A and B are shown apart, each in its own frame.
Chain A
Amino acid sequence: MAIKSQPRVRVPAQAKAGEIIEIKTLISHEMESGQRKDAAGKTVPRDIINTFQAAFNGKPFFTAEWFPSISANPYQSFFFRAKESGEFTFTWKDDAGAEQKASAKLTVA
C-alpha cells in the first residue's frame, strides 16, 4: 500500500561544503486524530502519518515521530550539513504501514 498524495519538498539544489541548508516538506493528509466523532456520533478511527524520515545517500539523519496533535497536511522543516554531492530520500509512513517517498539531488561545490 502507498500513501496516495504526492509530497512536496523544497531543497536547495546547490550548497557549499559545510553549509547548513534548510529543507522544507509538505504532504497532504487528513491526520485523522481518532478523537473526533462523525455526525452519527461514531468515533472516526485514527489514521495518521506517524513517521517522517530524511536520509542522505541512504543514511538517515533526521526523523520525526508525529502524534494525533499534528495538524492535517503535515509540514516539516529541518536542517542538514552539506558535505558532498548526493541524493536525499524522504519517507512518510502511516498507521497502516503504507509509505510515500520523495527524493532530491544536492550538488556540493
Chain B
Amino acid sequence: MISRRDFLSAGTALAGLLAASGTGLAQAVGGQSLTQADLLKFGKSGTFTLLHVTDIHAQLVPLYFREPSTNLGVGDARGVPPHLTDVAFLNYFGLKPGTRDAYSLTSEDFTQLARTYGRMGGVDRIAALVKAIRAERGADKVLLLDGGDGLQGSWSSLKTQGEDMVKVFTALGLDAMVGHWEFTYGADRVTEIKEKAPFAFLAQNVRSTEWQEPVFDAAKTFEKGGAKIAVIGQAFPRTPIANPRWMIPDWEFGIREEEMQKQVDAARAGGADAVVVLSHNGFDVDRKMASRVSGIDVILTAHTHDAMPRVVEVGKTLLVATGSHGKFLSRLDLDVKDRKVTGYRFQLIPVFSDVIAPDPDMAKLVADIRAPYAKDLARELGRADSLLYRRGNFNGTFDDMICDAIMKERDAEIALSPGFRWGGTLLPGDPITFDAVANATAITYPACYRTTMTGKQLKEVLEDVADNIFHPDPYFQGGGDMVRVGGVGYAIDVSQGAGQRISDLTLLKTGKPLEADKTYTVAGWASIAQNVEGPPVWELVERYVTDAKTVKIAPNASVKVTGA
C-alpha cells in the first residue's frame, strides 16, 4: 500500500512533505507575526482530509497546558518519540528553543514562552479552523473525528454529564467519537449519548459481560472525496481498571487485537479504500497494535496526550498524535488511487488562541454553556506564586498543591492523588479560580477518603501503579501517570520488574524511613471503589487555597528516578 518511495514520487516530494509537516512553520514565519492564514497553509490537498481532535477534556476556553518534562518510555518505547522531552524533543524534530513550536510542544522555558505566545485551544478557535478547512476543501471531502476524553474535565462538563461538549461536537459537525472518561458518567448516560448524538460513538472492544456481545457499533463507513473510509473505534481498553468498574458493571473492555484484525478485514472486504482506527489505546499500545494488525492505514492516537509534529510510520500504518486540551488540530490528507492509500501530507496545527479569530457561533455557544456556572467559575480563591502544572510521569506542582490541601484539610500524614494527565497550567501570578481547580478535579468520584495503611501496603500500592506505567510490554500497561504522593518520598528504578521498582520510602516530616508494619494516616481521592465516603476534593482545595491566599510550590525533589 504505502511505501516511502510512493510518497516521494507522488508529486508532493520531500520538500512538500516537510513544508506541510508543521515543522518549522512558525519559525519560518517568525514568532510574533503568525497569522491564522499561516496556520492553515497546507501542501497539496489529498483525496480527502481527516481532521482529528482528542483529549480536549471539555476545555471550552483557551488555557495554558505545559507538556511533560518527564515522559519515560520503557521496553521498545525507550528514548523514542513520543518519549522525548524538551531539548531531546526539539532536536529530534529539528525545532528551535524559544519558538512557538517549542512553547506548544515542550515544557522548556514554559512560563516565559507562555507569556509571549499566550493561551492555546478554545473550541471557538477550533471551530474557526475546521470551518476554514471545510470551506477550502468542501465539506464532502472532510471527515472530523474525536479520539475520546472530550466530554470530561471541566465544571460545566461534570454538571451537564458531558452535554456541554455534546453540543460543541454537534455544532462542530463531528462525524464520530470514541470513549474513555465518558464512561465515568455511567453506562446509562453513555448509552443515551450513543443513541441521541448526531455523531457515531464507536467501540469495537466493548462487550456485554453476560453474553460477550458487542455493546457499540464497531465501525462506520464514510464517503469523502469519492473514497470509502472505514473508521473503526477503539475505546480505552483499561477503562474498568483505571476508572470505577461499578459505573459500567455490565461491560467488558480489553484491547481485543484479534477482533480488531477481523474488523479491518471486514472493512476491506466491504470495499473500504482507507481504514482508519480512531483509538484511545494510548500511543505505545497503538504502536504495538500497528505492528501486529495488518491493513490499517491510519491510527489516530489518543489517551497519552502526546503531540508530535510528524506522523510515526509503523510498517504501512501512519500514527497521528494530536496532543490534548484543544491545543492542536491534526490535518491528514490522504491520496487514494485504485482503492489504496498512495500518499499523505500531515500538519499538526497549533491552536494559538491569540492568532485565530474565534468562530462567533461557537463563541456564543460556549458563553451560553458557561453562563449558569459563571459565578462559580470566576470565583478567585487565591493566587499562584509559582508555576502550577500537572503533566509528568511522577509529580506536578498542581498535584503537590492538591496533596498539601488533602494532608492539611483531612489531617493526614500521607496524601495520594491520582496520576491524571489532564488539567490546565497556571502561571506565576495567575489567579487560582474555582474554574482552574475544577479543571484538575472535576470527576464523578471525587470523594476524599481518610484511612490508615501500613508502610508495606503503601509500597504495594506504589509498586502496582508503577507496573501499570513501566511494564515493558505496553499491552500490560494501563491508566495514567504515577500516583502522586504527599508527605512521602521514594526512589524508583523504572527498569526493574513488578514489585521491585520502589525503594527508600521516607516520611518527609521526620526524614525517617517508612516502617513496613507501622500504620500511617493516609488520605486521597478518586478511589475506584464504590460507596467511598468523604468530601469532594475540590472543596478541600478551595478551602486550602482560600486560607493560603498565595500558593508557592517548590519543585518536587522527593521522588528519585533511576533506570530511565
Contact = CB atoms under 8 A, between A and B. Distances in A.
A–B direct touch, CB within 8 Å, in complex?
yes
Interface of A: 10, 24, 26, 75, 77
A26 B212 contact: no
Contacts of B211: 10, 24, 26
Interface string B208-225: 001110000000000000
Q: 7 closest pairs, A vs B, by CB?
A: A24-B211, A10-B211, A26-B210, A77-B212, A24-B212, A26-B211, A75-B210
Contacts, number: 7
B258 to A, nearest CB: 16
Contacts of B210: 26, 75
Interface in B439-470: none
Contacts of A26: 210-211
A13 B211 CA distance: 17
Contacts of A75: 210
A10 B210 CA distance: 12
A31 to B, nearest CB: 16
Nearest to B211: A24
Nearest to A24: B211
A48 B211 CA distance: 21
A26 B209 CA distance: 11
Nearest to A10: B211
Q: Which secondary structure characterizes the binding site on chain A?
A: strand
Nearest to B210: A26
A10 B212 CA distance: 12
Interface size on B, as a range, is under 10
Interface in B17-73: none
A16 to B, nearest CB: 21
B155 to A, nearest CB: 40
7 contacts: A10-B211, A24-B211, A24-B212, A26-B210, A26-B211, A75-B210, A77-B212
Nearest to A73: B210
B251 to A, nearest CB: 15
Nearest to B209: A75
A77 B212 CA distance: 10
B365 to A, nearest CB: 46
A19 to B, nearest CB: 19
B262 to A, nearest CB: 15
Contacts of A10: 211
Nearest to A26: B210
Interface string B187-216: 000000000000000000000001110000
A18 B210 CA distance: 28
Interface in B310-360: none
A24 to B, nearest CB: 6
A75 B210 CA distance: 8
Contacts of A24: 211-212
Interface in B88-125: none
Interface in B261-287: none
A7 to B, nearest CB: 13
Contacts of A77: 212
A24 B210 CA distance: 10
A75 B212 CA distance: 10
A77 B207 CA distance: 15
A77 B211 CA distance: 9
B208 to A, nearest CB: 11
A81 to B, nearest CB: 21
Contacts of B212: 24, 77
A10 B211 CA distance: 9
A76 to B, nearest CB: 12
A20 to B, nearest CB: 17
B43 to A, nearest CB: 50
B357 to A, nearest CB: 57
A5 to B, nearest CB: 14
A54 B337 CA distance: 52
A26 B210 CA distance: 8
A105 B211 CA distance: 20
A41 to B, nearest CB: 22
B240 to A, nearest CB: 15
A26 B211 CA distance: 8
A104 to B, nearest CB: 15
A38 to B, nearest CB: 22
B207 to A, nearest CB: 12
B542 to A, nearest CB: 40
A89 B270 CA distance: 38
A10 B208 CA distance: 14
A6 to B, nearest CB: 15
A77 B210 CA distance: 12
B349 to A, nearest CB: 47
A24 B213 CA distance: 11
A10 to B, nearest CB: 7
A57 B210 CA distance: 28
Nearest to A77: B212
A27 to B, nearest CB: 12
A21 to B, nearest CB: 15
